[in-house]
Chain A
Amino acid sequence: MIVLRCLNCGILNPGLAAACRRCGAQLEPILMGGLADEEGEADENGDWLERMRQEAQHLSAGDEPAEDQPPPEGEAAAAPSGSDKLAEAEIPDWLDRIRETQTGELRAKAAAEAAGTASPPPDQSSLDDSAIRARLGPALPTGEPAREPKWPAEPVEELPSWLQDVGAGPKAETEAPPRVPALIGQAPDQPEAIRPAEDLPEWLGEIDTLKESLEEQMRGPSAAPGSDLAPATLPSWLEAMRPVETFRSVVQMEAEEDQSIESVGPLAGLRGVLLAEPVVAMPRTSTVGSMQLDVTERHYAQAELIHKMVEEEQREVAAGPRKATGLPFFRWGIAALVLLGVALPIFSGAPVFALPRLAPQELSVLFDLVERLPVDRPALLVFDYEPGNSGELDAVAGAFFDQVMGRGIPLATLTTRPAGSALAKRALDERAARFGYVPGQSLVHLGYLSGGSTAVQLLAINPRATILEGFDLPEGMPEDIWNAPLLQGIQTLPDFSTVAVITSGSESARLWAEQVGSRMGDTPLVMVLSAGAEPLIRPYFDLQEAQPGERRVDGILSGLPAAASYELRNGRPGLALARWNPFGSSMLAAELILLAGAGYGIANWWLGRKAG
């Protein structure tokens, strides 16, 4: 492949290129031999030099003279012979173009010399310099700007017609890019970088040598033989020490046309100047004292998981179609059965269930305990349940109240629930009238005890500091409730004849057993419980049985059957016996429902097992 080497910038251009692809200068091919292996063959043969010499002589003689125009004098000897014409026919196209170009230049030169006879000839050296500068333009290494020829051009009218055509050429060249000589040669088969230096001119060889040395320096020690590191790989310890930057550490070189021109400072007007703003003005993470987080893949996975969880929380779930639910016939059936069991004895008086004949063992203990209570000291009744449980506890505790009030023991009530005082008043006022109790004298409501477990413990230690104001006190009571005749002898909790806690919850009962039980001394502590709370409180009562010195609860009353037995033993029928039949009937219904459910479950399990 034929190439042209621009002598202005030194780059190789394709053989057909009219201008240099780098500097844009017009290329004037100068045949100086190939650069490839054919060059050696030409050297051996010597033909190419001879042809080039002849070609040069031919071109200097005015190139192909027209047949209708005699050749100039002195150039006849140099006219091509027949053999030369034959050889000329074998000249390739590229050489023809070269010839045409140089022919035009020579014609222009001849016309200028002919016109110069009328004016003093310029100095030859300056003429040559001007011609060279006119051809090379500003790319001349001297840096001196290209100038137009100083001598004036001959008017076009005075030139021959064939020169008028030629004369237009140089004038057009003044506006065209500078023309520089270009070496003609063969393109090397191998890359230019690996071409042996001895095949190049000396100055090109120096460039290649310098280039190779620069590349060697840029490769650095990492490319040294024997190194295990890849060129772009850093050791882990060095990677960990690398400061974290917020901007890109790799500068992408833009095309020269896209690079900005510096507008201020000593580098003003230069293109491709490195910008100082990214380093000076743009925010970035400080590298001073920065810590390199040791983030592993697991950390990344966890962070991603948290990110997904947050996204899931923020994602709105479209409301699905509301599931059509059928009528709760099953629930209605169970409710109807229970309601029927409760209402049937109430409205019809039937069925009638037998009264309990066997009393619980703890009932006799409680009964005897109440019988032994002193009547000169008040008993403290703690109403520790909500109004919702009054339906059960009023019936259960009624028999206990009847026995205590039947003995004429003065009563004081207390509660740890805001609504407890009203429940106490509701439960005792009707009995007080029946048993002849006088409010304020034999019955007093101490009211609400706030503070939970702390207040209960303080009550056991110092009741006077805990209860500051009573509830629904009658007229004539002293300002300080503890100065009432009923409470004058009360200094500590054991000063009461007994403390009875009526509660529906095991937590409340346990609180009283823990905080008060060990501070009661000889004063008994009685628990009147809902049926659901009994299993968790009974160990405190059994503890008294096993270890009399470590008692916590001295008496216990729980459930409607025990209350019914209590009323029977008291000989005073009350709410427990009044609700005995509805309770029995509803319990029977509940047991039937439970049996039906258990039977259904067993049958379902058996059928499922049978079906495999």
Chain B
Amino acid sequence: MSIADLISSLLASILTLMVLSYLVGDNPLFRFAMHLLVGAAAGYAGAIAIHNVLKPGLVDPIATAGLEGLLNPSALATVILPWILVLTLLLKISPATSRFGTPAMALLVGVGAAVVVGGAISGTLLPLSLDSMQSLNPAGVGSSGATLERLLELVIVLLGTLSALFYFRFSSRASGQETPLANLAGLSIPGPLSLLRSVGSGFIAITFGVMYAGAVAASLIILAERVQFLRDTLSNLLGVSG
């Protein structure tokens, strides 16, 4: 390991310990590490934006085309219009000139919203809804093998979908005053709507639980990587082979 690698590993280890010092509480070491991380990330992002976005998108076309190229009508859409939009967007810096940047901002937001909404409808809503309906098709079940496992999966999908939709219906949530179906030995059996709502909340809780478990697992993997890194750095400093 070179000296540069050793120094960089040592600095990284110190910063890792400074971040882990948050266990004691909020302290200057943790804040310093956070400020350093945010500053370095912002500076790096700015440099990337200049070299990978602004320079090839705005400067290079002008440098390549020259003054004669700018007079070309085709340059209006590829060079001049982007510059106008960028300059007007820069006017958003000052409240006095902010309104001049509104068209560029409206273009950004409008196009972005249209793309997101269109993609959500055509890529998520319709395909997944059709898939949920298709899963109840007996022909589909038969084609993929009418095993008990498959049937059980379909029942779970159907029950989970319907009960979750019932849970998010406000009318169903307001049915908490529903008359209990029966009372057995002092145990009240809720009505069908309340029962379906409870099942839906159960499915939603399981979903969130799985997501939370995944997040915990990811965090533990990251922590293991950091501890492994600290152990490697310490071994390198002490000259002990791992």
Q: Which A residues are within 8 Å of any B CB, using their own CB?
A: 328, 331-332, 335, 338-339, 342-343, 346-347, 388-389, 391-392, 394-395, 418-419, 421-422, 447-448, 450, 452-454, 457, 468-469, 471, 504, 510-511, 513-515, 517-518, 530-536, 539-540, 542-543, 546-547, 550, 552, 558-560, 575, 578-579, 582-583, 586-587, 590
Nearest-neighbour CB distance to chain B for A370, whole angstroms, equals: 23
Which of B55, B57, B217, B225 is within 8 Å of A587, CB to CB? B217
With A530-B218, A531-B217 known as contacts, the answer to whether A392 contacts B225 (CB < 8 A) is yes
Q: Count of chain B residues with Cβ under 8 Å from any Cβ of A?
A: 50
> A342 and B220: CB pair below 8 A?
yes
Q: Is the CB of B52 within 8 A of A342?
A: no
Q: Which of B44, B122, B221, B223 contacts A419 (CB 8 A)?
A: B44
Docked CA distance A342–B211 (Å):
21
Q: List 13 A-B contacts (CB under 8 A).
A: A342-B223, A343-B227, A394-B225, A418-B49, A453-B112, A454-B111, A457-B115, A514-B122, A514-B123, A514-B124, A535-B211, A586-B223, A586-B224
B99 within 8 A of A: no
What 0/1 readout, one digit per residue, does chain B (117-138) give for beta carbons within 8 Å of chain A? 0011011100110110011000
B residues less than 8 Å from A535 (CB atoms):
207, 210-211, 214
Q: Mark B204-242, 1 if CB is under 8 A from A, else 0.
A: 000100111111111011111111100100000000000
Q: 15 new A-B pairs (CB below 8 Å) besides A342-B224, A395-B221, A419-B48?
A: A338-B220, A342-B220, A343-B231, A346-B228, A448-B49, A510-B124, A514-B119, A532-B217, A539-B128, A539-B131, A550-B131, A559-B217, A579-B221, A579-B225, A582-B227
Main secondary structure of the interface of B (DSSP, over half): helix
- Residues of chain A with a CB closer than 8 A to B221's CB: 391-392, 395, 531, 560, 579, 583
Q: Which residue of B lies closest to A417 (CB)?
A: B45
Q: Are the CB atoms of B131 and A583 closer together than 8 Å?
A: no
CB nearest neighbor in B for A457: B115
How many angstroms from the CA of A418 to the CA of B44 in the assembled complex? 7
**A518 vs B45: C-alpha distance when bound (angstroms):** 31
Provide the residues of chain A in CB contact with B128, threshold 8 Å. 539-540, 543
Q: In the complex, how many angstroms separate the beta carbon of B206 from the nearest chain A beta carbon?
A: 9
**Residues of chain B in range 93-151 having any CB-CB distance to chain A below 8 Å:** 111-112, 115-116, 119-120, 122-124, 127-128, 130-131, 134-135, 140
Bound-complex Cα distance A533 to B212 (A): 10
Contact yes or no, B119 A448, CB < 8 A: no
Of all chain B residues, the one with the shortest Cβ separation from A550 is B127
The binding surface of chain A is classed by DSSP as helix
Q: Determine if B140 and A469 form an interchain contact, defined as CB atoms under 8 angstroms apart.
A: no
Chain B residue at minimum C-beta to C-beta distance from A517: B123
- Whether, in the assembled complex, B81 has its beta carbon less than 8 Å from a beta carbon of chain A, the answer is no
A450 B49 Cβ-Cβ under 8 A: yes
Asked whether A469 and B127 contact (CB < 8 A) given A347-B231, A419-B41, A547-B134, the answer is no
Query: 5 smallest A-B Cβ distances: which pairs?
Result: A514-B123, A391-B225, A531-B214, A514-B119, A418-B45
Q: Please tell me if the beta carbons of A559 and B220 are within 8 angstroms of each other in the complex.
A: no
- Closest beta carbon of chain A to B48's beta carbon, Å: 4
A586 with B131: CB separation less than 8 A: no
B119 pairs with A457, CB closer than 8 A? yes
How many Å from the CB of B240 to the closest CB on chain A? 11
Given A471-B52, A514-B124 in contact, is the A532-B214 Cβ separation under 8 Å? Answer: yes
Chain B residues with Cβ below 8 Å from A469 are 51-52, 55-56
Interchain CB contact under 8 A, B227 and A388:
no
Interchain CA distance A514-B60 in the complex, whole Å: 33
Distance in angstroms from B130 CB to nearest chain A CB is 7
Q: B53 within 8 Å of A by Cβ?
A: yes
For B115, what are the chain A residues with a Cβ–Cβ distance below 8 Å?
453-454, 457, 515
Q: Which of B112, B130, B215 contacts A454 (CB 8 A)?
A: B112
Query: In the complex, A471 Cα to B47 Cα: how many Å?
Result: 12
A534 touches B214 (CB 8 A): yes
Residue among B55, B60, B224 with the most chain A CB within 10 A?
A: B224
Cα distance A546–B153 in the bound complex, in angstroms: 13
CB distance from A142 to the nearest CB of B (A): 82
Would you call B23 an interface residue if the criterion is a C-beta within 8 Å of the partner chain's C-beta atoms?
A: yes
Whether a CB of chain A sits under 8 angstroms from the CB of B186 is no
Most buried by B among A532, A550, A559, A582: A532
**Is the CB of B73 closer than 8 A to any CB of chain A?**
no
Q: In the assembled complex, how far is the CB of residue B210 from the closest CB belonging to chain A, in whole angstroms?
A: 5
Could you tell me the distance in whole angstroms from the C-beta of A253 to the nearest C-beta in chain B? 56
CB distance from B17 to the nearest CB of A (A): 12
B124 CB to closest chain A CB, in angstroms? Answer: 6
Enumerate chain A residues within 8 angstroms of B216, measured Cβ to Cβ. Answer: 590
Distance from B231 Cβ to chain A, minimum over Cβ atoms (Å): 5
Chain A residues with Cβ below 8 Å from B131 are: 539, 542-543, 546-547, 550
Residue B66 is within 8 A (CB to CB) of chain A in the complex:
no
- Determine the distance from Cα of A426 to Cα of B94 in the docked complex, in whole angstroms: 40
What are the residues of chain A within 8 A of B116 when measuring CB–CB?
A: 453, 511
**In the bound complex, how far is the Cα of B128 from the Cα of A138, in angstroms?**
112
User: Whole-angstrom distance from the CB of A433 to the nearest CB of chain B?
Assistant: 16
Partner of B135, one of A468, A510, A546, A578: A546
Alpha-carbon distance between A353 and B41 when the two chains are bound, in angstroms: 37
Q: Which of A392, A422, A510 contacts B218 (CB 8 A)?
A: A392
Chain B residues within 8 Å of A332, by CB:
23
Is the Cβ of B25 less than 8 Å from the Cβ of A511? no
